[in-house]
């Protein structure tokens, strides 16, 4: 098989313009909407009567709307955008059929929209992280497979036959999601299994989505952007291989919570897997430290800052997961805000921040233009960092306080929830800051796209009204 | 790894392992579960939920009750208690046996207030030994198996929740978060439908300082007739409607409350055994009081 | 955005290749230690894939099953019987003449007033001729179980065979303490099998 000749980076970048606009533009929009729902859910703890008279805005619907918009609205399309760009860039070949990928991306966003309406109108499936109803899930599944197929076609047509570690991570992620999602939808919604097996499957799905899919995509970006931005080689190919294998081997077993009403072997296996997940995360920490040590590049609130913060958040969230798997700890932290804090750190602190970093690098190259408001890039970073920490730290501490109180039968449920109020108020500030940061991102992305479109129109217009060259005039 | 095929193979191997472990294996072990015989009573458990309660599960799901309430009672251990139920004719012998097992109880007054808990032991072997001591002395004694843990001490149940409890639920709602109390046995706690209606309509009116949001949209406010409707909620204070109006539950609220009252996961099972305390003995787990548990 | 980046956006850039440094040994060490810890943890708490074991139990909660009113718990003994005895004496308890195993069901040795002789048979085995239910059994050897079964297991299985309602046995239960006592008394015997003649010298009950 002879490889086609490499395409130059600008050509590759421009080949992905339309699909990346749609993927990132939609993702930024859903992210802001998700933050709004997150803020609403948070405010409800200050006054339980807040917006309580509308069934659409009751806590039990706003909360899943927040979670699903965050993961399905933002994380997956943003991850797909970064993954597609990485496959094209590293394969030195333009994106295959960008128009069709754009159609798939549109379809995905339609699926998210339909699913959001479903959740708000009470059609949630009732399984955590899988609330999007069946009709939306089918659209999302088809859209993902469609995009993944063209991503694979892009990969097949690559000019550079050697695989960069980032490509392993992206390819595995493209394979992972359709499998876990189809299993979950088929066995929970289409041909539902009976009884507690449903919960087992839903936990398996959530563990694979948050514990494997997000790290796979995030680490793909990590392996590419950290060396790129520091202008140093990645340390090293074998470390990346080691992290890849241990991540997929152990991460996939982490989903079952420690007290689940399932036979003891299942939560016990998940607990052991959570400790083993320390191995890939330590490896990632080693890769990060070795790769950037001695690098002179200051990150200055740019993409490198985002990726670095994201990587450390991933390591920390994995350590928390391992600690919370200890039986002595899990009896306190189970069923508390601690788990929510861990998820927030993983999704916001790690995945979203890494994706922002990648987007701030990719989108200017795709459009060939600078960010319209460069200051916002830095502002967004600090909003994201402080917001994540304000969301994470109070909820993690509040979760421990809450869990310790649940273990004391003398304390009434009302007093337990009263004890967490101060922490919830602090976390509302975090939600607010994240919303602000995400708004900055949205404004920047949309302004960039708008500016690009305006420039395109201007060029077309200039072409249309320009006097014909003599050579073009047919005699 | 040099080719995409290897990456896919790696992903396939890793994912199929956990798929086999957490999707296929539980389906083989638990997916074909059937009703089981409860211990002692030998009743079939669980019973299918009645139609209205099944509709109530839909309301529970649609409104996301599981984001604040679990249906999973946890258990931290189990111990065995020996109760002396009858002194028999040989009071001196029984007192001597008590002296050996629990010196503090070896007083003649003890025999006047039976049944009395004599000892608490860790397993059945030790329990049998204690039981034999009492029986040999001519007394009558009973063994009581008591699961322990903070959740159980709160009166949320008598034993831990197991797979069998979810046999007929679609979808199952084990929950992940306890902002409010566990509901696995809410139907067994001393709250009637009327209390649930008032609690859903205005939580703070029945549980002071409750942070539960009100679910007023499950109720209808309408003009009261000459006679107030028998369904009308007996509200007082700030939650009460203005004069001439009354609050009645909609069909959704009725279904939801029927479901809550049907949440009873208490039958003793082989995998989570316990025995009730002897008749007229105080319950080991303090029964909840209305004021304490919303 | 700094000018350096806009420059790179328009020039072909080389993608930096990763180095080929090896994975440090301590990472493999950490993996190994965590694998061992995980395996020990699973062994201690995982119940070995038994669908009936839930936390906090580490075995099927057979030790916590309520007794039948007035009766004893025979389930644990039945498990031991199926595992250790049924091979020769058959699940039905009728024995197997092919291996010279006498019946247990209806045996006067089993439903004796006390378990003293039975405990000894299980602990050290039996060989030589023995008469059971009016028939002679000669050539068989029963192996000792003293190193295989605990006092609790022996007590459970003897209780089971002495009280099994299917065989209409109604003898008294056997406690682990009784087994422990006999084990202590005979601890110098080693693995020498009993003979019927020897056993008949020993009182059936204390």
Whether residue C52 is found in the same domain as residue C93: no
Whether residue C177 is found in the same domain as residue C93: yes
**What tokens appear for A456 in the block?**
């395109």
**What tokens appear for B206 in the block?**
């029945």
Does some domain include residue C115? yes
Band of the pLDDT at A319, cuts 50, 70, 90? very high
C65/B78 Cβ within 8 A: no
A90/C13 Cβ within 8 A: no
* Contacting residues for B168 by C-beta, under 8 A, at least 6 apart: A195, B46, B48, B49
**Total count of residues recorded for chain C:** 206
**Any idea which residue has 């730290």 for tokens?**
A393
Surface of B (178-237) touching A: CB under 8 A: 178-181, 203-204, 207-217
Give the model's pLDDT for residue B282: 52
Band of the pLDDT at B202, cuts 50, 70, 90? very high
Contact status of A187 with chain B (Cβ, < 8 Å): yes
Give the model's pLDDT for residue A1: 45
Chains contacting B (3+ CB pairs below 8 angstroms): A, C
* Total number of domains constituting chain C: 2
C37/A264 Cβ within 8 A: no
Q: How distant, in Å, are the alpha carbons of A29, A80, A302, B155, B216 from that of A362?
A: 18, 13, 12, 57, 49
Instruction: Note the CATH number of domain B37-74+155-261.
Output: 1.10.760.10
Complex confidence, ipTM: 0.91
Query: Can you list the positions of beta strands (E) in chain B?
Result: 36-37, 44-45, 77-86, 116-121, 140-148, 219-223, 245-249
pLDDT at A171 over 90: yes
Instruction: Note the CATH number of domain B77-148.
Output: 3.30.1390.10
Whether residue C50 is found in the same domain as residue C112: no
A278/C30 Cβ within 8 A: yes
**What tokens appear for B153 in the block?**
């001490």
| Mean pLDDT of all residues belonging to chain B | 86
Whether residue C60 is found in the same domain as residue C77: no
CATH number, position C105: 1.10.760.10
Whether residue C55 is found in the same domain as residue C73: no
Position with higher pLDDT, B277 vs A120: A120
By C-alpha distance, which of C112, A194, C150 is closest to B164?
A: A194
Give the model's pLDDT for residue C10: 37
Contact status of C176 with chain B (Cβ, < 8 Å): yes
Give the model's pLDDT for residue A3: 55
Band of the pLDDT at B15, cuts 50, 70, 90? very high
Band of the pLDDT at A363, cuts 50, 70, 90? very high
A232/C27 Cβ within 8 A: no
Whether residue C49 is found in the same domain as residue C104: no
Å between C145 CA and nearest CA of chain B: 21
At how many degrees (to 10) do helices A17-43 and A59-68 cross?
Answer: 150
Whether residue C74 is found in the same domain as residue C29: no
Å between A243 CA and nearest CA of chain C: 10
Band of the pLDDT at B289, cuts 50, 70, 90? very low
Contact A155, A87 (CB under 8 A): yes
Chains contacting C (3+ CB pairs below 8 angstroms): A, B
- Condensed to tens digits (0 to 9), the pLDDT of residues B51-78 reads 999 999 999 999 999 999 999 999 999 9
Number of H helices, E strands in chain A: 18, 0
Å between C41 CA and nearest CA of chain A: 7
- Condensed to tens digits (0 to 9), the pLDDT of residues A248-273 reads 999 999 999 998 999 999 999 999 99
A408/B15 Cβ within 8 A: no
Average pLDDT over residues B189-194: 90
Whether residue C172 is found in the same domain as residue C190: yes
For residue C143, what are the domain limits?
69-200
B176/A172 Cβ within 8 A: no
Band of the pLDDT at A75, cuts 50, 70, 90? very high
pLDDT at B219 over 80: yes
| Mean pLDDT of all residues belonging to chain A | 92
B123/C56 Cβ within 8 A: no
Å between B68 CA and nearest CA of chain C: 24
Percent share of chain A, pLDDT over 90: 79
Does some domain include residue C1? no
Q: List per-block mean pLDDT (blocks of 10 residues) for chain C, which spans 206 residues.
A: 39 71 93 96 90 88 71 71 87 85 89 88 88 83 88 87 82 83 87 87 81
Does some domain include residue C133? yes
Å between A433 CA and nearest CA of chain B: 24
- Condensed to tens digits (0 to 9), the pLDDT of residues B128-154 reads 888 888 888 877 788 889 999 999 999
- Nearest CB to A265; choose among C38, C39, C47: C47
Chains contacting A (3+ CB pairs below 8 angstroms): B, C
* Alpha-carbon span B199 to B239, nearest angstrom: 11
Domains in chain B: boundaries: 37-74+155-261, 77-148
Band of the pLDDT at B286, cuts 50, 70, 90? very low
CB pairs under 8 A between B and C: 57
- Other Cβ atoms less than 10 A from the Cβ of B241: the count is 15
A179/B19 Cβ within 8 A: yes
* Contacting residues for A463 by C-beta, under 8 A, at least 6 apart: none
């Amino acid at each position: 098989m002879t490889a086609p000749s490499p395409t130059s980076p600008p050509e590759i970048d421009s080949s992905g313009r339309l699909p990346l606009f749609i993927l990132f533009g939609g993702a930024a929009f859903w992210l802001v909407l998700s933050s709004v729902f997150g803020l609403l859910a948070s405010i409800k703890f200050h006054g339980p009567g807040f917006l309580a008279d509308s069934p659409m805005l009751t806590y039990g619907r706003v909360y899943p709307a927040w979670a699903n918009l965050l993961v399905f609205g933002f994380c997956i399309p943003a991850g797909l955008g970064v993954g597609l760009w990485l496959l094209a860039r590293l394969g030195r070949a333009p994106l295959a059929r960008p128009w069709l990928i754009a159609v798939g991306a549109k379809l995905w966003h339609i699926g998210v929209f339909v699913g959001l309406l479903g959740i708000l109108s009470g059609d949630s499936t009732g399984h955590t992280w899988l609330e999007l109803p069946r009709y939306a899930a089918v659209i999302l599944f088809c859209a993902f497979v469609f995009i993944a197929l063209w991503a694979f076609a892009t990969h097949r047509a690559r000019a550079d036959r050697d695989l960069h570690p980032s490509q392993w991570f992206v390819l595995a992620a493209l394979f992972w999601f359709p499998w876990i999602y189809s299993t979950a939808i088929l066995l929970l919604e289409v041909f539902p299994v009976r009884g507690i097996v449903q919960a087992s499957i839903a936990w398996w799905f959530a563990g694979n989505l948050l514990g494997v899919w997000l790290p796979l995509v995030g680490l793909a970006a990590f392996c590419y952007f950290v060396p790129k931005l520091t202008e140093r080689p990645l340390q090293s190919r074998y470390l990346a291989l080691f992290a890849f294998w241990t991540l997929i081997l152990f991460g996939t077993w982490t989903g079952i919570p420690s007290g689940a009403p399932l036979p003891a072997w299942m939560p016990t296996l998940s607990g052991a897997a959570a400790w083993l997940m320390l191995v890939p995360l330590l490896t990632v920490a080693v890769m990060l430290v070795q790769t950037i040590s001695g690098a002179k590049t200051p990150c200055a609130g740019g993409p490198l800052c985002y990726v670095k913060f994201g990587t450390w958040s991933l390591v920390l969230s994995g350590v928390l997961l391992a600690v919370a798997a200890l039986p002595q700890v899990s009896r306190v932290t189970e069923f508390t805000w601690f788990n929510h804090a861990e998820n927030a750190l993983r999704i916001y602190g790690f995945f979203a921040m890494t994706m922002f970093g990648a987007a701030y690098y990719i989108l200017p190259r795709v459009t060939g233009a600078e960010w319209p408001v460069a200051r916002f890039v830095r502002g967004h970073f600090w909003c994201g960092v402080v917001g994540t920490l304000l969301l994470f730290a109070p909820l993690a501490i509040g979760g421990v306080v809450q869990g310790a109180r649940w273990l004391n039968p003398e304390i009434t449920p009302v007093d337990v929830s009263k004890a967490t109020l101060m922490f919830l108020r602090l976390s509302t500030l975090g939600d607010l800051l994240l919303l602000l940061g995400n708004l900055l991102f949205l404004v920047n992305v949309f302004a960039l796209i708008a500016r690009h479109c305006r420039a395109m129109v201007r060029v077309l217009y200039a072409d249309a009204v320009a006097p014909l060259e003599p050579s073009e005039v047919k005699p | 790894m040099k080719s995409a095929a290897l990456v896919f193979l790696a992903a396939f191997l890793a994912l199929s392992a956990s798929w086999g472990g957490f999707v296929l294996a539980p389906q083989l072990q638990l997916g074909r579960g059937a009703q089981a015989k409860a211990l002692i009573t030998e009743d079939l458990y669980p019973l299918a939920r009645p139609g209205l309660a099944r509709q109530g599960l839909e309301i529970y799901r649609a409104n996301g009750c599981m984001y604040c309430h679990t249906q999973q009672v946890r258990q931290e251990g189990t111990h065995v208690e020996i109760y002396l139920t009858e002194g028999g004719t040989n009071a001196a012998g029984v007192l001597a046996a008590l002296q050996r097992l629990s010196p503090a109880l070896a007083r003649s007054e003890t025999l006047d207030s039976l049944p009395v808990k004599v000892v608490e032991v860790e397993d059945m072997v030790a329990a049998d030994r204690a039981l034999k001591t009492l029986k040999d002395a001519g007394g009558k004694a009973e063994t009581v198996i008591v699961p322990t843990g903070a959740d159980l001490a709160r009166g949320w149940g008598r034993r831990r929740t197991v797979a069998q409890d979810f046999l007929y639920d679609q979808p199952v709602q084990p929950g992940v978060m306890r902002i409010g109390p566990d509901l696995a046995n809410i139907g067994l706690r001393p709250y009637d439908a009327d209390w649930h209606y008032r609690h859903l309509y205005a939580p703070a009116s029945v549980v002071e300082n409750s942070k539960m949001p009100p679910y007023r949209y499950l109720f209808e406010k309408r003009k009261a007739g000459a006679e107030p409707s028998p369904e009308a909620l007996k509200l007082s204070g700030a939650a009460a409607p203005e004069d001439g109006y009354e609050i009645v539950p909609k069909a959704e609220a009725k279904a939801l409350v029927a479901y809550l009252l049907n949440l009873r996961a208490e039958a003793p099972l082989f995998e989570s055994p316990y025995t009730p305390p002897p008749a007229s003995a105080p319950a080991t787990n303090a029964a909840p009081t209305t004021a304490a548990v919303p | 955005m700094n000018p350096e980046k806009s420059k790179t956006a328009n020039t072909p850039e080389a993608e930096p290749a990763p180095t080929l440094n090896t994975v440090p040994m301590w990472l493999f060490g950490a993996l190994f230690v965590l694998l061992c810890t995980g395996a020990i943890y699973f062994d201690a708490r995982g119940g070995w894939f038994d669908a009936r074991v839930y936390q906090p139990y580490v075995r099927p909660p057979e030790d916590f099953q309520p007794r039948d009113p007035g009766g004893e718990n025979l389930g644990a003994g039945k498990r031991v019987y199926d595992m250790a005895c049924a091979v020769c004496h058959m699940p039905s308890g009728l024995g197997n003449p092919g291996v010279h195993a006498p019946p247990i069901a209806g045996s006067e040795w089993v439903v004796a007033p006390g378990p003293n002789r039975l405990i000894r048979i299980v602990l050290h085995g039996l060989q030589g001729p023995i008469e059971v239910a009016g028939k002679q059994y000669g050539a068989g050897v029963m192996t000792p179980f003293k190193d295989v079964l605990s006092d609790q297991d022996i007590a459970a299985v003897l209780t089971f065979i002495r009280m099994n309602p299917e065989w209409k046995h109604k003898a008294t239960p056997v406690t682990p303490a009784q087994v422990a006592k006999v084990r202590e008394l005979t601890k110098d015997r080693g693995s020498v099998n009993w003979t019927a003649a020897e056993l008949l010298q020993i009182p059936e009950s204390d």
